[in-house]
Amino acid sequence: MNPESRPDGYTLVVCEKPDAARRVSEALSGGGAEASVADGVTVFRFNADGEDFVVCSAQGHVYAVSDPFEERTVYPIFDVEWYPSDMVEKENANAGRRIAAIRKLSEGARRFVNACDFDFEGETIGFNVLRYACAGREDQALRAKFSTLTKEELVEAFRSAKPNAGQGLARAGRARHLVDFIWGVNLSRFLSQSALGSGHRYRTVSMGRVQGPTLNFVVEKEREIQRFVPTPFWKVTGLFKKDGETVVAAYSKDRLDRRADAARVTSDCSGGEGKVVSVRRSVVQVPPYPPFNIGDLQKEAYSAFGFSPSRTLQIAERLYLGALISYPRTGSQKLPRSLNYRGILQGLAGLSEYSKGVAELLRGELRPVEGIKTDPAHPAIHPTGERPRRPLDASESKVYDIVVRRFLSVFAPPAKREMVTVAIRVGEHEFRLGGGRTVFPGWTTLYGRYRGLKDADVPQMNEGDRLKVVEARNEEQFESRPSRYNQSSLLEKMERERIGTKATRAEVISTLVARGYVAGAGLAPTELGLSVVETMKRFAPSIITVELTREIEERLEGVENGSGEDRDLVRETVRSMTKQLAGLSTNEESVGREIDAALMATVAASYVLGDCPVCKTGKLRLIRSKKTGKRFVGCSNYSSGCRASAPLPQRGAIKAAAKPCQHCSWPVVYVLGGGHPWRLCVNPACPSKGVKRNEV
């Protein structure tokens, strides 16, 4: 970074998070930065190459979009603007103090650098701080762009920092906030107020432009499940004797639709002899999986560890701030040649669990396998090669390990598999069996603990071999009903339909759960979720369609690349919202009745913890004593004589687990609040002795 010098003042660097500010200061100063506190904000000061630097952090969004009305029930709302976050969000109460501190620091600065995360949110945070707190310096400020918080990359990012020409990403980020607020505030206030008009107390019923179609995915899947009628079919298998070993082969037709056809096959084959008519062997290569982008990492962590997408993102961000991995909010599956592959691997070689695999990789040419997805801002997620400065907790260790092993595996050779297919003829009928075994493990040596290749051996056979038919059997089966979405598959659906962003999809899913629209590990819509979707479908159907949301995403991309105007997009959003609200408002009374009834049903259902193992017919519910105010578990058949009951912790939210206790069949609940949730069997006499602290 070589800007024109001026005789006084310093360079003010604005970072997004305190950890990032510390890393930037250490990198640029060589470890000689002095930390101080200015009006409650940690500030780092140092001199580098004769230039004075002051580095601070916004600590997240210090400005938020809102309307000028103090009354939260007013709608429609179209007059929106950016305000200090403490005026809008209770959880951001100290934003005003941070703004004042940055404003005071800006008065002594002669040069400004935006060093916030390089994505929609980071660009928006930096732009707003420079515009509002630093007296309109957003256009003259330099932009430092980096994907890791390593010293080498940070030094290079500041050396090559340039003015952020066009501000396309910032304008798109700000427009996204405005558009989402206009949609969300108006729909949510309408739904909440309509339910209030039905005579019950106020409760927030939210809806947004990405939330709507995402919830509709869940509801449509539930409708598909409800419509599903299982169709019977028959599978035929043959048991053959080969050198004293029993071999099971499947009939060449995967399914037979008539019982009579299945019976005829088994009758024809029983007691007969089979002849091996073909043996096909081949060796196939299985390449490594591509490097992680954030969606792939979220889905893999859900599969491997059961982590929700939002939890995985939070963990990955902590690892990034610790300079252990690259920026996680990326859509890329590519590792550019500009990355120092060998340097990263040499850094990882110092960690004992990876040293052997790294040593093997360093002997060969480093050419990574890549996917097709790209991201103009950041490469695929990869380790930096730096060692942790602090002990990682259990969840951080798991995510770090899977990122490292995925990175290592992309440099490894393909695995090789020998595949065998055998065809056995019994009269006019043919049976087949197949299998495979790994003859060269390749990349699976490094990544196999997460997604290995299973072997299925086939006995040695040759064409012409004769096999005795031990038994031919048929089995009636039924088509499997469609599976509900889980958080991983719903995120994948959002990716396929191109709604939301890599940074917001997990948050949208978490909101659906938090609002009580969906419940369970297999995301089932509650009565409230069903009612909201049906209401939108009847009176404002475009709100829950992917087309509208996808169109807005495409328009935002146009703003980012300079082919679209953010003001035009906001104006069109106002016109569209006006039209949607008109359709809803004319039916406000009907909407209110439906939403209110669904609210009541959802709240009632949330108190059911599971089946009663005592009377076998009742439901165990969360009950609060009118006399003491304490909560406990009781059976819905109490009036009929069932006295099943159990105590509950008096603090923390209670959420029923998907399955009852394997030891006693009483319900298992999670007690939420504070750190990790407690997993608790409610039965005080459970053989497992009740309480265990588990991760969820």
User: Which among 238, 233, 240, 239 is positioned nearest to 261, based on CA atoms?
Assistant: 233
Return d(Cα 548, Cα 527) in angstroms, integer: 25
Mean pLDDT score, 150-178: 91
Residues acting as catalytic residues: 327
CA of residue 248 relative to chain centroid, distance: 41
Is pLDDT of 1 > 80?
Answer: no
Q: Using alpha carbons, list the distances in angstroms from residue 75 to 71, 342, 634, 674.
A: 10, 58, 43, 36
Mean pLDDT score, 57-68: 90
* Those residues with Cβ within 8 angstroms of residue 345's Cβ, 6 or more apart along the chain or in another chain: 358, 361, 362, 366, 385, 408, 411
Mean pLDDT score, 88-109: 89
Q: Which residues belong to CATH 2.70.20.10 in the chain? A: 232-288+415-478
CATH of 10-163, one of 3.40.50.140, 1.20.58.100, 3.40.50.170, 3.30.950.10: 3.40.50.140
pLDDT tens per residue, range 387-419: 998 999 999 999 999 999 999 999 999 999 999
Q: Which residues belong to CATH 1.10.460.10 in the chain? A: 174-226+487-601
Provide the β-strand partners of residue 10.
109
What is the rounded (10 degree) CA torsion for 515, 521, 524, 527? -40
User: Which among 96, 13, 98 is positioned nearest to 22, based on CA atoms?
Assistant: 13
Residue 610 burial by Cβ neighbours in a 10 Å radius (0-12, 13-18, 19+):
buried
Helix (H) or strand (E) holding 535, with range, is helix 527-539
Question: Residue 695: its pLDDT value, please?
Answer: 34
User: Which among 454, 480, 459, 428 is positioned nearest to 253, based on CA atoms?
Assistant: 428
Question: Residue 5: its pLDDT value, please?
Answer: 38
Give the fold, CATH level 3, of 174-226+487-601: Topoisomerase I; domain 2 (1.10.460)
* Those residues with Cβ within 8 angstroms of residue 598's Cβ, 6 or more apart along the chain or in another chain: 526, 527, 528, 530, 531, 532
* Those residues with Cβ within 8 angstroms of residue 98's Cβ, 6 or more apart along the chain or in another chain: 40, 41, 58, 59, 62
303 within 8 A of 477, measured Cβ to Cβ: no
Return d(Cα 507, Cα 629) in angstroms, integer: 34
134 within 8 A of 106, measured Cβ to Cβ: yes
Question: Residue 626: its pLDDT value, please?
Answer: 60
Least trusted range by pLDDT, from 125-129, 211-215, 323-327, 456-460: 456-460
Alpha helices (H) along 383-427? 394-409
Confidence band, pLDDT 50/70/90 cuts, at residue 46 = very high
Question: Residue 690: its pLDDT value, please?
Answer: 45
Is pLDDT of 459 > 60?
Answer: yes
Alpha helices (H) along 58-201? 95-106, 120-128, 151-159, 168-196
Question: Residue 345: its pLDDT value, please?
Answer: 96
Return d(Cα 143, Cα 163) in angstroms, integer: 6
- Number of neighbours of residue 322 by Cβ within 10 angstroms: 19
Is pLDDT of 649 > 90?
Answer: no
Write down the pTM of the prediction. 0.81
DSSP category for residue 419: E
Question: Residue 602: its pLDDT value, please?
Answer: 59
User: Which among 503, 405, 629, 389 is positioned nearest to 124, based on CA atoms?
Assistant: 503
Q: Is 664 helix (H, G, I), strand (E, B) or coil?
A: coil
Is pLDDT of 691 > 60?
Answer: no
Least trusted range by pLDDT, from 199-203, 263-267, 551-555, 637-641: 199-203
Question: Residue 694: its pLDDT value, please?
Answer: 37
Question: Residue 521: its pLDDT value, please?
Answer: 80
pLDDT tens per residue, range 254-283: 999 999 999 999 999 998 999 999 999 999
Return d(Cα 423, Cα 281) in angstroms, integer: 12
Give the fold, CATH level 3, of 232-288+415-478: Topoisomerase I; domain 3 (2.70.20)
Report the residue count for the chain. 696
CATH code of the region 294-409:
1.10.290.10
Question: Residue 76: its pLDDT value, please?
Answer: 84
Query: What six digits make up the tokens of 240?
Result: 């053959």
Return d(Cα 464, Cα 425) in angstroms, integer: 10
Residue 595 burial by Cβ neighbours in a 10 Å radius (0-12, 13-18, 19+):
buried
415 within 8 A of 442, measured Cβ to Cβ: yes
**Angle, vertex CA 198, rays to CA 194 and CA 201, nearest 5:** 90
pLDDT tens per residue, range 358-380: 999 999 999 999 999 999 889 99
